[in-house]
Structure 1
Amino acid sequence: MRKVMTLAAAASLLLVTACGSTATASSGDITPLESIKVTPGSDDSSDPTVTFDSPLVATETAARVLEEGKGDPIKENQNIKFKSVAYKAEDASLIGSGFSGEPVTLPVNDEFKAQLPALYETLLQTKVGSWIAMVEPEAEVPAVEGADASKGPEDDKVKTVVVLKVVSTEETPEASKKLGADEVKTLKDDGVLPSYEMKDDKPAITIPKGKDVPAGLAVDVIKEGTGKVATESSDVAANYTGVRWDDGEQFDSSYDRGEASEFNLGQVIPGWTQGLTGLKAGTQVMLTIPTDLAYGPDAAAQNKPAGPLVFFVELKEVK
């Protein structure tokens, strides 16, 4: 459910260079990127040919336009669609490429800026169609609980060189809204909202047949609790089961693990943050969450459940 880390993970798929071109935009110490050259493939589904002097040694975040595109300027609060290929900095060997698949979409917003500042600044200086080289030292990626803290200087060096091409941009659609209590009641009375029944002390969720997903976050309180009220930054413990709206398939359940999960409401998908804020400990609720408040349009590419999602949640504790 942690969305912040999805940007850092996407950073491990970006970098490039253009033959005979002059860098027109950059950010950070780009000296290590000067040897990178790229020859684009025959089309946007073909891998480019990328070369650089190895080992490529860099200890600072940097991004550089290697070939400027001829499309529209890239602006804040747009979505960029890009394809990328990644190489080992040590020996220039290929790690992986996404050129044969669909473009990845990322919003050029404050979250992007916080996670990948050099790439963010470089994007806003260039145009659609640009090839960009980027390096991001591992030490600058936000720490993950349980990670090894005993790292030496060598661990601060870049291990991956990413090459990306900005394929297109689109205006960021307006975010889905949380529906009001009256709207939720009307949807429930009309049979539009999912239902559930307990089987072997576990919720079994049923998606209504022939109904479109609600155009907003539906918070259907089944049983109101009497405990402490959750805020958007509360640490909570909850039991839950999640299914996809499109096919009703379960993708996760704390009930199957036999214990409640603990998390901070500021570090989960927006549908959970908005849906559980204001509820009291002890509340049971069904959350019907639109795609943009779940894992987003590129959830499948991140190995996350895609599309609108439905959760039965029992808010066990607000800490």
Structure 2
Amino acid sequence: MRKVMALVATASLLLVTACGSTTAASSGDVAPLESIKVTPGADDSSDPTVTFDTPLVATATGAKVIVEGKGEDIKENQNVKFKSIAYKAEDASLLGSGFAGEPVTLPTNEEFKAQLPALYETLLQAKVGSWVAMVEPAAEAAPAEGASPSASPAEAKAETVVVLKVVASEPIPEASKKLGADEVKKLKDEGSLPTFEMKDEKPAITIPKDKEVPAGLVVDVVKEGTGKVATATSDVSANYTGVRWEDGKQFDSSYDRGEASDFNLSGVIPGWTQGLEGLKAGTQVMLTIPTDLAYGADAASQGRPAGPLVFFVELKEVK
């Protein structure tokens, strides 16, 4: 679904509002969606039956409510939870389904509005329980081999039809904040923070037993460096080990690979950006990162470590 949606960001849109109308909520070029019919499965874990005329030809993005829900209105600044299924536009063959798994969460915020305006506008006219169909054009086709560079590119056509069901919506919780030095000291004195010890030149992290995860980002400096100070956009080199708070299981470690990792602090999870900003090269730090500043509520569905995470990080170089 994420890959499908990414293509939509580059599509040209013809926004159509349904306010004040008795027609189904929609946005964009919805004419190609007229033949889509959805029969819900036995429950929210069962695939629906979806049919449409093939080949479904669309040259602009569109989204439309196919089956109206009976729940609460979907609003701005909510986390919308949905399940989706995707089909090939040419012959309606199944590309993939997420109905057997956990719902995916999509926030109705400004970023969503900018990247997926047709789906955004449609959802904000819909209710929880609605089934929404979306179609998007393929990436703009390149000119045929041997054609003049000034020739117009072939008109892009839809490759994918996505049908999703909104299963819930809730207000977006306030983002977790970085805890102050006094708050971190108090937690440390209480034995409520993870600890580590070096074994065979690798950090072994221990999660405190019977302690609640801290209510915010914890930056626990265990050794302060003397080098250059990192900013939120610095290129850095670091050694690290990461474990899950829930069970202490390691999911990644540069120490195991035998070399530090290079990255820019603007391209990592927010807990790393906020946690390493302001630290000096040579610093060793324990980061306890809440879920929303790690990989998010639907991390597991993306194959990423879920829940609050703990990292030992040695900031070796700020470039």
TM-score normalized by structure 1?
0.85
1:313 positional shift? 0.8
Contact 2:59 2:155 in 1 (8 A): no
- Counterpart position of 1:232: 232
- Give matches, 1:245-260, under 5 Å: 245-260=245-260
Counterpart Cα distance in 2 of 1:243 and 1:259:
18
CA displacement at 1:224 relative to structure 2: 1.4
Q: Give the CA deviation at 1:69.
A: 1.8
Identify if the C-alpha distance between structure 1 residues 312 and 138 changes in structure 2 by more than 3 Å, giving closer, same or farther.
farther
Q: Structure 1 residues 114, 247: closer, same or farther in 2, change over 3 A?
A: same
Matched residue type, 1:133: A
Take 2:290 and 2:154, find their aligned partners in 1: how far apart are those partners? 43
Q: Provide the C-alpha distance between the structure 2 equivalents of 1:318 and 1:157, rounded to a whole number of angstroms.
A: 46
Alignment of 1:197-212 (within 5 A): 197-212=197-212
Report the Cα distance in structure 2 between the residues aligned to 1:315 and 1:88, rounded to whole angstroms: 46
Counterpart amino acid of residue 46 in structure 1: S
Partner SS for 1:55 = coil
Q: Answer whether contact 1:23 1:65 (CA < 8 A) is retained.
A: no
Paired position in structure 2 for 1:99: 99
Q: Distance in 2 between matches of 1:161 and 1:286?
A: 45
Larger Cα Rg: Structure 1 or Structure 2?
2
Relative to structure 1, is the Cα distance of residues 83 and 154 closer, same or farther in structure 2, using a 3 angstrom cutoff?
A: farther
Most deviating of 66-75 and 188-197: 66-75
Distance of aligned partners of 1:31 and 1:243 in 2 relative to their CA distance in 1, 3 Å threshold: same
Does residue 8 of the first structure (1) align with residue 25 of the second (2)? no
> Does the CA contact (< 8 Å) of 2:102 and 2:301 recur in 1?
no
Measured against aligned partners, the alpha-carbon deviations of 1:13-61 in whole angstroms (never above 9, x if no partner) come to xxxxxxxxx8522222223222211122233333211011222233433
Provide, for residues 83-135 of structure 1, a one-character-per-residue CA deviation record: whole Å limited to 9, x for no partner. Answer: 21111222211122222333222211123223322211211122112111112
Partner SS for 2:105: strand
Deviation at 1:242, TM superposition (A): 0.4
Following superposition, the deviation at residue 263 of structure 1 comes to 2.0
Structure 1 segment 127-276 matched on structure 2, within 5 A: 127-137=127-137, 139=139, 157-276=157-276
Query: 1:36 & 1:303 partners in 2: Cα distance?
Result: 31
CA distance in 2, matches of 1:89, 1:238: 45
Shift of 1:155: 10
For 1:52, the equivalent position in structure 2 comes to: 52
Cα distance change on mapping 1:156 and 1:190 into 2, 3 Å? farther
Please report how far the alpha carbon of residue 154 of structure 1 lies from its aligned counterpart in structure 2 after TM superposition: 7.5
Q: Displacement of 1:197 after TM fit?
A: 1.3
Query: 1: distance between equivalents of 2:156 and 2:199?
Result: 51
Q: Share of identical aligned residues, percent?
A: 79
Hey, what's the Cα distance between the residues in 2 that align with 1:190 and 1:39? 55
1:124 is aligned to: 124
CA contact (8 A) 2:30 2:64 kept: yes
Shift of 1:73: 1.4
Q: Secondary structure at the match of 1:298?
A: coil
1:156 Cα deviation from its structure 2 partner: 5.1
Question: CA separation in 2, counterparts of 1:312 and 1:215?
Answer: 19
**Mapped partners of 2:316, 2:28: distance in 1:** 46
Give the 4+ runs in structure 1 shifted more than 6 A.
Answer: 152-155
TM-score (norm 2): 0.85
Q: Relative to 1, partners in 2 of residues 1:283 and 1:97: Cα closer, same or farther, differing over 3 Å?
A: same
Superposed displacement of residue 244, structure 1:
0.5
Change (3 A) 1:251 1:153: farther
2 CA distance for matches of 1:264 and 1:78? 30
Aligned to 2:64: 64
Which residue matches 1:15? none
CA distance in 2, matches of 1:135, 1:73: 23
C-alpha distance in 1, partners of 2:55/2:202?
A: 54
Task: Indicate the SS of the match to 2:139.
Answer: helix
Question: CA 1:295/1:85 → structure 2, altered by over 3 Å: closer, same or farther?
Answer: same
User: Structure 1 residues 107, 199: CA separation in 2 closer, same or farther (over 3 Å shift)?
Assistant: same
In the TM superposition, residue 200 of structure 1 has moved relative to its aligned partner by 2.0
Q: Which amino acid letter does the alignment assign opposite residue 2 of structure 2?
A: A
Structure 1 residue 240: Cα displacement: 0.9
- Pairs aligned (count): 294
Change (3 A) 1:235 1:55: farther
Tell whether the 8 Å contact from 1:23 to 1:67 is kept in structure 2 after alignment. no
**Relative contact order, CA 8 A, sep 6+: which one is greater?**
1
Alignment pair present for 1:278 and 2:278: yes
